[in-house]
Amino acid sequence: MKKYLVIGNPITHSLSPMIHNYWMKKYKLLESIYEKKKVEKRDLNNIIDKVRKGEIKGVNVTVPFKKEIIPFLDEIKGDAKLTESVNTLCQENKKVCGYNTDTEGFKNSLKEKGINYDNKNIFILGAGGVSSSVLKVFVETSKKIYITNRTKEKAKQLKKLGDISINLLGRKKNIIEIVDWGKKPKVCDIVVNTTSIGLVKNESLDLNFEDYENNKNVLFYDLIYNPKETNFLKDAKLRGNKIMNGEMMFLWQAQIAFQMWTGISPVIGDEVIKLLDK
């Protein structure tokens, strides 16, 4: 049996097992199984050892371990380097390698909906494990990126990471700006919630977006896909803004991970999207 896992805490919200097991069946990988596991930080080393030994074939990493897992890995590759965020583990030549498929997943989700972020103003809420993946996409072509986080120090660390990418891209330096928690930029085209607030039903971010009322041009994007409509999105809808949840980003990041593990690029068809409705 080839075993795959998604690890996190909380983990009940994760629909990764449903999607990966669906694809495994569809592509006749009948000896494969994908499960979810709630873990503590102290469990990480043991899980990674199992990946190293080939007892676990692949792992997805979610909240709150995308950064915390890095010191336990043998190597980090691709987008995981500039984001310092890992959501996918594979074993390569007895080494456990950490990859980031969230960045590409997020980018694809914008591309397929025709959402243009070139020269736009972006507001990123949160500076946790997935925030750097979102930032990495926007630093390429966006005009200005505002970051806010309850703990300001983490927003500063995130800005530092973004500034490294900006430097490598040869763009001008003052693209990223930190905003105090509770404040917001005057002009903004896309607001992205990268915090974990909303994963638990009825949780709400204590932020006021009244200034953006009736502005259909502002997109509120919540990376959370379960529940489908967090209070962040419900409020935005009531205000008359555009909304989008994390469903498609979730499917794209899963597709890339599945391909890395199996060599098969699974189709994100209607039947897979419908699975998320259950």
d(CA 173, CA 88): 31
- The 10 Å Cβ neighbour count of residue 33 is 16
| Structural element, H or E, at residue 49 | helix 44-52
Q: Of these, 124, 190, 197, 256, which contacts ligand ATR (CB under 6 A)?
A: 197
Q: CA nearest 262: which of 36, 93, 25, 6? A: 25
> Does 100 help bind ligand ATR (rule: CB under 6 A)?
no
Q: How many residues bind ligand ATR (CB under 6 A)?
A: 14
C-beta closer to ligand ATR: residue 105 or 129: 129
DSSP state of 71: G
**Nearest 5°: CA angle at 61, between 254 and 86?**
90
Looking only at the bridges linking them, the beta strands covering 2-8 and 219-222 are unpaired
> Does 129 help bind ligand ATR (rule: CB under 6 A)?
yes
> Does 26 help bind ligand ATR (rule: CB under 6 A)?
no
d(CA 221, CA 179): 18
C-beta closer to ligand ATR: residue 196 or 253: 196
> Does 67 help bind ligand ATR (rule: CB under 6 A)?
yes
Q: Of these, 128, 162, 227, 246, which contacts ligand ATR (CB under 6 A)?
A: 128
> Does 162 help bind ligand ATR (rule: CB under 6 A)?
no
Instruction: Decide if 127 contacts 157 (C-beta within 8 A).
Output: yes
> Does 63 help bind ligand ATR (rule: CB under 6 A)?
yes
C-beta closer to ligand ATR: residue 102 or 262: 102
CB of 216 to ligand ATR, least distance (A): 27
d(CA 93, CA 98): 13
* Three-class DSSP category at 20: helix
Q: Is 67 a catalytic residue?
A: no
> Does 196 help bind ligand ATR (rule: CB under 6 A)?
yes
Q: Would you mind telling me the total number of residues written for the chain in this entry?
A: 278
User: What are 264's two structure tokens?
Assistant: 């098969």
Q: Of these, 26, 81, 111, 154, which contacts ligand ATR (CB under 6 A)?
A: 154
* Residue of 2, 26, 57, 66 with catalytic role: 66
d(CA 47, CA 7): 9
> Does 227 help bind ligand ATR (rule: CB under 6 A)?
no
Q: Which stretch binds ligand ATR (CB under 6 A): 12-20, 30-38, 89-97, 195-203?
A: 195-203
> Does 37 help bind ligand ATR (rule: CB under 6 A)?
no
Residue positions annotated with a catalytic role: 66
Contact residues: ligand ATR, CB under 6 A:
63-64, 67, 126-129, 149-151, 154, 195-197
